[in-house]
Amino acid sequence: MSQPSQQDEIMAEDEALRRPAAGIEPILEAKGLSQGQIVRKRFLGHSGAIIGLVAFAIIFVMAFTSVGYWGIPGWWKYNHEEVSPLVNDGVPTASLWPLAWGEHPFGQDRIGRDLFAMTMRGAQQSITVMVVIGLIAGFIGVVVGALAGYFRGWTEAVLMRLTDVIIIIPALLLAAVMAQMAGRRDSGSWFASFASNNGILALGIFLGLITWVGLARLMRGEFLSLREREFVDAARISGASNARIIFKHILPNAIGVLIVNVTLTMSAAILTETALSYLGVGVKAPDTSLGLLISQNQEAFATRPWLFWFPGLFIVMICLSINFIGDGLRDAFDPRQKKFNAKKAKDTGHPLGATPVTAFDGTKGD
């Protein structure tokens, strides 16, 4: 049998280099799929995002159906204001073994209010603030950053100086002042009247109007880089308008930065509302929130710890769920994200199994 020639060896090596390394998703894995199908497939393949989505869905359904919302009654027999006789001295009646729910699964406070109802009401407040701030801050941040990064010149100068002015204002201090104004119930002020009747909504709107600056700066940087790419030049030559180039061509390529920042902003919004309520300038009695529950029951941490732990647990679960969902969405929308299975690469003995990431990370080669 004749030995392979040097040309045959070179061709074989070249063919091996062109094959995607073992353990890495091939770049053409989604050939024939629409953009929506590709995003959905990637998101559903992200285990952390699915766990976060399921956890958040459970919390959302429990919070908004158990104690009711906007006048719609819920399925739980108590509300966050109702006082009832202490059962088992207020100790939680839920147990894992034997599995039982009981009359007051999260326990009761000293005066007999049901902690489950109060925690669900607090979760409603946190989710409402989170959604309002995410929508407002995301919209303003994207618009300001896109206009500044795409048009440059005086547009960029004006918008970035406005961003610099807002970014130095302490958001917590302004939110506290707004909450104090709302608490005065001054009938002569439309702002105080609106904030008094829609406290948590007003707080979310206000915080959304001052928390967009970080996203605006990030989006400006992305647009400064993407506006010089070849596909943008091709869109200009084909006669596309500036609005179409911004929102149809450039923005989809910056979706990863947008999603990560918005989810972080939403998580921070929950913590901001918690801090304000803890300091006594956020949600006020007779309404309640997770931060207010922690503030009211901090002195009972040693004697009745369940009054502190359940609200704190829901704060952590909501924040982690949103962050996991955002991480999954970032990976789903970013075409450069690729999965690498080191064990699979090692087992198959692929010639690029040891060094595949730099060669096939989605930015070099085919």
Q: d(Cα 79, Cα 355) in Å, to the nearest integer?
A: 59
Helix (H, G, I), strand (E, B), or coil: what is residue 225?
helix
DSSP state for residue 202 in the 8-state scheme: H
CB-CB contact of 126 with 315 (8 Å): yes
- Tokens 């939680």 sit on residue: 92
Q: Tell me, what's the pLDDT at 97?
A: 77
> Would you write out the chain's pLDDT as a tens digit for each of its 366 residues?
455 555 555 555 555 545 544 444 444 445 567 777 888 888 888 899 999 999 999 999 999 998 888 778 888 888 888 888 888 888 888 877 777 787 888 888 888 888 899 999 989 988 988 899 899 999 999 999 999 999 988 999 999 999 888 888 776 677 666 666 555 544 555 555 555 556 677 778 888 888 888 899 999 999 998 988 898 889 899 888 888 899 888 888 888 888 888 888 888 888 887 777 777 676 777 778 888 888 888 777 778 888 888 888 999 999 899 989 988 888 887 655 555 445 554 555 544 444 444 443 444 443
Q: Which two tokens stand for residue 85?
A: 């006789």
CB-CB contact of 75 with 66 (8 Å): yes
DSSP state for residue 254 in the 8-state scheme: G
Q: Which two tokens stand for residue 22?
A: 């073992």
Q: d(Cα 27, Cα 359) in Å, to the nearest integer?
A: 12
- Tokens 């005066």 sit on residue: 111
CB-CB contact of 272 with 210 (8 Å): no
Q: d(Cα 197, Cα 147) in Å, to the nearest integer?
A: 36
CB-CB contact of 290 with 345 (8 Å): no
- Enter the pTM of the model: 0.75
Cis peptide bond N-terminal to 351, omega within 30: no
Half-sphere exposure of 356 (CA within 13 A, CB side): 26
**Nearest residue to 148 via CA among 136, 163, 162, 159:** 159
Long-range contacts of range 65-73, CB-CB < 8 Å, 24 or more positions apart?
66/116, 66/117, 66/120, 67/117, 67/120, 67/121, 67/124, 69/124
CB-CB contact of 306 with 115 (8 Å): yes
Q: d(Cα 112, Cα 332) in Å, to the nearest integer?
A: 47
Q: Tell me, what's the pLDDT at 340?
A: 47
Q: Where would I find the beta strands (DSSP E) of 267-344?
A: none
Q: Which two tokens stand for residue 364?
A: 């070099």
Return the bridge partners of 114, or none.
108
How many distinct helices (H) and strands (E) make up the chain?
Answer: 15, 0
The C-alpha R_g of the chain, in whole angstroms, comes to 27
**Cα 165 to the chain's mean position, in Å?**
26
Q: Tell me, what's the pLDDT at 24?
A: 42
